[in-house]
Amino acid sequence: MPTGVALRDAREQLFASAERILLRDGPNALTSRAVTTEAGCAKGVLHRHFADFDDFLAALVRDRIALIGEQAGALRAAAGTGTVPDRLTAALAEVFGPLALGMLGLVVARDVLRARLRLTTPMGLPVLTEAAAMIGTYLRAERDLGRIAPDADTDTLALTLIGTGHLLFAGREDATPDPEAVRRMVDSVVAGVLREA
């Protein structure tokens, strides 16, 4: 006897179900049964589209990484506008939203998933590595425009912002850090390299 309902775009609906579970219950609650139950479909639907559950999870994380790529393009295009600290503060708030933090928890908890993501992210931690690249690219664009010192080590600044940002955002129950705390951290990291417009 068939169970569940037909899915028009099964992959996207399964991803959306997994994201809801991550946001509501955290990475430990994410199982193939939980995802298909949330999607209202039979467990076999997931296995028709993915080799196994870790293949599904890798595709889910790669989908999030693609969103960081889109954010990187928008941030790079914004170079030269607004203030550098304002742009960085907003970018960190977007990068470390609840869904991204859930994805990071998932990646850290599952060795097989991290191994599969090595094709996408050969070094570092998926999501954080791409976020650091995004910030580094933006800082180089600002350096080229003269708003960051010409000798600024943009890669180290990006890693510092991402690492410290992760510590500010992670592990909070239903709350994000005070935006002023994030802004103070950004100001502290980039204060020595900012130049007047």
Determine contact, residues 53/32, Cβ cutoff 8 Å.
Answer: yes
% pLDDT > 70, the chain? 93
Average pLDDT on 44-57 reads 92
CA dihedral (188, 121, 105, 7) positive or negative: positive
pLDDT at 131 over 80: yes
pLDDT band for 184, please (50, 70, 90 cuts): very high
Looking at residue 178, its pLDDT comes to 87
Domain spans of the chain, in order of start: 1-49, 54-190
Instruction: Give the count of beta carbons closer than 10 Å to the beta carbon of residue 30.
Output: 24
Taking alpha carbons only, the member of 154, 159, 84 closest to residue 128 is: 159
Taking only the tens place, the pLDDT of each residue in 139-174 is 999 999 999 999 999 999 999 999 999 999 987 666
Q: What share of the chain is helix, strand, coil (3-state, %, to 5)?
A: 70, 0, 30
Domain 54-190 in the same topology as domain 1-49 = no
State which CATH number among 2.20.25, 1.20.1740, 1.10.3470, 1.10.357 fits the domain covering 54-190.
Answer: 1.10.357
- Mean residue pLDDT of the chain comes to 91
CATH code of 1-49, in short, is 1.10.10.60
Determine contact, residues 75/87, Cβ cutoff 8 Å.
Answer: yes
Instruction: Give the count of beta carbons closer than 10 Å to the beta carbon of residue 56.
Output: 22
pLDDT at 16 over 70: yes
Looking at residue 8, its pLDDT comes to 60
- Give me the phi and psi of 171, to 5 degrees please: 75, 15
pLDDT band for 196, please (50, 70, 90 cuts): low
- DSSP helix/strand/coil, 184: helix
